[in-house]
Amino acid sequence: NLSFKTLGLTSPLVSLGIFWGLVIGIFASLPFLAAIVFPRIGANKRKEFFEDLKPISVILYHSTIHIPIGTAFFEEALFRGILFAILENTYGGIIAALATSGLFAAWHIIPAFKLQKHGQLLGFESRKISQLELHPIISTLVYIGQLLALFVVGIVLALIRGFTDGFIAPAIIHTLVNTTAFLATQRVHKK
Rounded to two decimals, the pTM is 0.83
Q: Read off φ and ψ for residue 123, nearest 5 degrees.
A: 85, 5
Which of 70, 72, 103, 109 has its CA nearest to residue 86? 103
More confident residue, 42 or 134: 134
- Rounded to 10 deg, the angle between the 109-118 and 136-164 helix axes is 140
Check pLDDT > 70 for residue 42: no
73 pLDDT band (50/70/90 cuts)? very high
Gap between the Cα atoms of 180 and 13, Å rounded: 25
pLDDT digits (tens, 9 = 90+) for 84-134: 999 999 999 999 999 999 999 999 988 777 666 655 554 445 555 555 666
State residue 129's pLDDT score: 54
List alpha helices for the chain, DSSP H: 11-37, 56-61, 74-76, 84-91, 93-107, 109-118, 127-130, 136-164, 168-188
Which of 15, 168, 26 has its CA nearest to residue 84? 168
Task: Report which residue type is found at 59.
Answer: I
Output Rg (C-alpha) for the chain, integer angstroms. 18
State residue 164's pLDDT score: 96
Domain boundaries, the chain: 11-188
Which of 144, 5, 158 has its CA nearest to residue 95? 158
Give residues with Cβ within 8 angstroms of 112, minimum separation 6: 143, 146, 147, 150
pLDDT digits (tens, 9 = 90+) for 46-60: 445 445 567 788 889
State residue 190's pLDDT score: 57
DSSP characters over 57-79: HHHHHIIIIIIIIIIIIHHHIII
Q: Which helix (H) or strand (E) holds 121?
A: strand 120-121
β-bridge mates for residue 125, sequence order:
120
Check pLDDT > 90 for residue 74: yes
